[in-house]
Amino acid sequence: MQPLIDMMLQVLNFLFTIGGHNYGVAIILLTIAVKLALYPLTLQSTKQMAAMQKLQPKFEELKKKHKDHPEKFQKETMSLYKEHGVNPLGGCLPMLLQIPVFIALFMALTSQEFKAAVIASGSASAFLWIKDITLKDPYYIMPLLIGLTTYWSQKTMPSAGGMDQMKQMMLFMPIFIAFISIEFAAGVQIYWVAQNVLTVAQQMYILKEKGKV
């Protein structure tokens, strides 16, 4: 993981030099670069989830039809997936493969090397209303934006639909994530908001331009 973290820091410092010598802007540019690099995985994941969503009515019919025969239900469900070329794990695996990259980026932004570089930059540590991105947002605006954009991201993401637990999770997760992000450094908070906004943009583009498969 450390080599990946070091690479993130090097790219971040490069983007700092071409992004107006502001680390807040550099974080946003780095987030954009990572999202573009992982776009093929996001495309595959979103398409598979959209396909699963389209099959949900047929899935519910099979569930009712074979409610007393779970083995037959599983067999016909797999046949349904195969018929429509859907991989039930296709929406999860690409997302799981992205996790190490996001963890490395998160750790880079919280590393002592990054903090030292930001402090040494002086005024470059300020971003919008935040005077020092190595400290938490004193006005709690960023945590609020994190919660709102997390909810927005969930709303635009295709899902299997029809599950009460999933709907409850969509309400709980943004609140939980906003709460735990309160004490994070503003640099991490900026990354989180940018990540959510870019995720929404990618999902909307894929579903509109590529079509729901």
**Greater model confidence, 87 or 11:** 11
Is 42 in a helix, a strand, or coil? helix
pLDDT score recorded for residue 167: 55
Per-residue 3-state assignment (H helix, E strand, C coil) for 72-129: HHHHHHHHHHHHCCCCCCCCCHHHHHHHHHHHHHHHHHCCHHHHHHHHHHHHHHCECC
Q: What is the pLDDT of residues 106-158, one digit of tens each?
A: 888 888 888 888 778 776 678 889 988 888 898 999 999 999 999 888 887 76
Instruction: Find the mean pLDDT for residues 165-169.
Output: 58
Nearest to 77 by CA among 95, 55, 92: 55
Length in residues, the chain? 213
Residue 181 pLDDT greater than 80, yes or no: yes
Measure the CA dihedral 37/43/106/173, to 10°: 170
Q: Given the structure tokens 């080599």, which residue do they identify?
A: 3
- Rounded Cα distance between 190 and 22, Å, is 13
pLDDT score recorded for residue 51: 73
Contacts of 40 (CB under 8 A, 6+ apart): none
Would you place residue 197 in the very low, low, confident or very high pLDDT band (cuts 50, 70, 90)?
A: very high
**Greater model confidence, 31 or 94:** 31
- Mean pLDDT taken over the chain: 79
pLDDT score recorded for residue 164: 45
- Rounded Cα distance between 86 and 213, Å, is 9
- Rounded Cα distance between 139 and 133, Å, is 13
**Greater model confidence, 164 or 172:** 172
Measure the CA dihedral 45/8/146/185, to 10°: 160
CA atoms within 13 A on the CB side of 71: 0
pLDDT score recorded for residue 212: 45
In this structure, of 71-80, 100-109, 124-133, 170-179, the range with the lowest mean pLDDT score is 71-80
Q: What is the pLDDT of residues 55-75, one digit of tens each?
A: 777 777 777 777 777 777 777
